[in-house]
Amino acid sequence: MKKKIGIIGGGQLGLMIAQEAHRLGAVVSALDPAPDAPAFAETDSHIVAAYDDLEALEKLGDMSDVLTYEFENVPGDILRHLEGKYDIKQGIAPLFDSQDRLREKNNAKKHGLPTPAYVAVPACSASEDCTEVPSKLSDDQRKRELENAVARIGIPCVLKTRRLGYDGHGQAVIKTAADIPQAAQLLSVPCILESFVDFDYEASVVMVSDGSRTIHFPIGRNIHKGGILDLSIVPAKGMYRNSMAGGTKDMEESALGLKIAGACEHFMEDCGYKGILAIELFIKGDDFVFNEMAPRPHNSGHYTIEGCTTNQYRELCRFLLGEPLEVPELIAPTVMKNILGQDLDAAWSVVRASDAGISGNSFCGEAGTGVYVHIYGKTESRPKRKMGHITFVPMTLEEYDECWADKFVYGKYIDGK
């Protein structure tokens, strides 16, 4: 009997989970409010319904042997109803812990990951995670609460809504005291104020655990533009010894890479999380701090599909299907370029060139042998909307800058910017 996987959420992550689930011989269903959700093109059946429609979620549960989620903001209370009844194999704890930035950072600290300095705004002391909803604040109170918090954290700092933020939405950077009144407008909902980290670069670690063994994918460096991931470069320089020179075969993690992978795996195990978990980090010198986590496949892990011997979607499915996990290895240096609406035409021109038999080689010598374009099939394209991604293997950041960067809106990456 084929095993049936049900996915709560039908975006591009759901699409790629479904593709790998099919490769492993499973049957897949997904639930999403959008009738044209990308995953529906791959799933065997689907349900169009809101994430808080308990009846529809139960229908998905009844159709499936095991449930997973690719959308982070499924209401926690709804999931609690499903938890006892269906096999949500990852459990709901990692989702619940990641849904509120205050709880998320308290939890990171508690389980050994360093964080930037932070405080809740408005200030609260009743419980550690301050789950009680504060009463509505007047404009004056908002400003005062934020001024008090800024006095504790220092400038520069970042104010973020505790819930429902993504791709830089719901955030305001405070560089001088003059930024406070504008930022205070975010305080119509509870927020967290963090110190602004002057990082060298951002990195992420994607892990999969079956409860007895945890694997992690090679650590990549992430470049964000306007709060949205633009490029992932793997391996991240500094995380591996002999990373470029000796090829990837003998790639060994550096002291920093080992420290980060060890701390992240320890965190996942200490929390008792199973399934997939991505952790975003800020790297400064030989140190790192936790930024946020996501208990689902991660945008920065798209590169694993072609860049590694096994990928984040397949290992998640292996976990869901109860199969042994495989340790991933990097095949070659890899660059993943996110395709937002503004770059969709450029991405299609790459597809057309390859359909016409023009290989990646023609664009740039040896660099670009493998150019893998993924278009998610979303019906409406908008600037800043994630429409697809391109993975280049083998490719370094320098080669990407030289050969490909000018085809896309953000252009060349300049080190240090």
Ligand X SMILES: Nc1ncnc2c1ncn2[C@@H]1O[C@H](COP(=O)(O)OP(=O)(O)O)[C@@H](O)[C@H]1O
**Residue 393 interacts with ligand X (CB under 6 A): yes or no:** no
**Residue 339 interacts with ligand X (CB under 6 A): yes or no:** no
Of 190-198, 257-265, 268-276, 381-389, the segment contacting ligand X by CB under 6 A is: 190-198
> Considering CB distances under 5 to 8 angstroms, the limit depending on partner class, which of ligand X, Mg ion, none binds residue 224?
ligand X
- Please pick, from the candidates 32, 100, 179, 280, the single residue that binds ligand X as defined by CB under 6 A: 280
Residue window 134-163: x/- pattern of binding to ligand X, with contact defined by CB under 6 A: ------------------------x-----
Comparison of 117 and 353: residue with beta carbon closer to ligand X? 117
d(CA 193, CA 182): 14
- Please pick, from the candidates 165, 218, 301, 307, the single residue that binds ligand X as defined by CB under 6 A: 165
**What is the enclosing helix (H) or strand (E) of 283?**
strand 275-284
**Residue 224 interacts with ligand X (CB under 6 A): yes or no:** yes
E runs forming strands in 143-274: 157-161, 171-174, 191-195, 201-209, 214-216, 220-225, 228-234, 240-241, 252-253
- Give me the least distance between CB of 299 and Mg ion, in Å please: 9
d(CA 410, CA 104): 32
> Considering CB distances under 5 to 8 angstroms, the limit depending on partner class, which of ligand X, Mg ion, none binds residue 196?
ligand X
- Please pick, from the candidates 47, 108, 121, 197, the single residue that binds ligand X as defined by CB under 6 A: 197
**Residue 168 interacts with ligand X (CB under 6 A): yes or no:** yes
Comparison of 112 and 227: residue with beta carbon closer to Mg ion? 227
Tokens of 170: 């719901």
Secondary structure letter of residue 376 according to DSSP:
-
What burial class does residue 260 get, using C-beta atoms within 10 Å of its C-beta: 0-12 exposed, 13-18 middle, 19+ buried?
A: buried
Q: How many CB atoms lie within 10 A of CB 152?
A: 14
- Give me the least distance between CB of 221 and ligand X, in Å please: 12
For residue 30, give the nearest of 310, 19, 388, 315 by alpha carbon. Answer: 19
What are the Cα distances from residue 95, in Å, to 32, 40, 80? Answer: 17, 23, 11
- For residue 190, whether the previous peptide bond is cis, meaning omega lies within 30 degrees of 0, is no
Size of the site for ligand X (CB under 6 A): 15
Contact present, 164 and 170 (Cβ < 8 Å): yes
**Residue 205 interacts with ligand X (CB under 6 A): yes or no:** no
Q: Can you give the binding site for ligand X, defined by CB under 6 A?
A: 116, 158, 165-168, 194, 196-197, 202, 224, 227, 280, 291-292
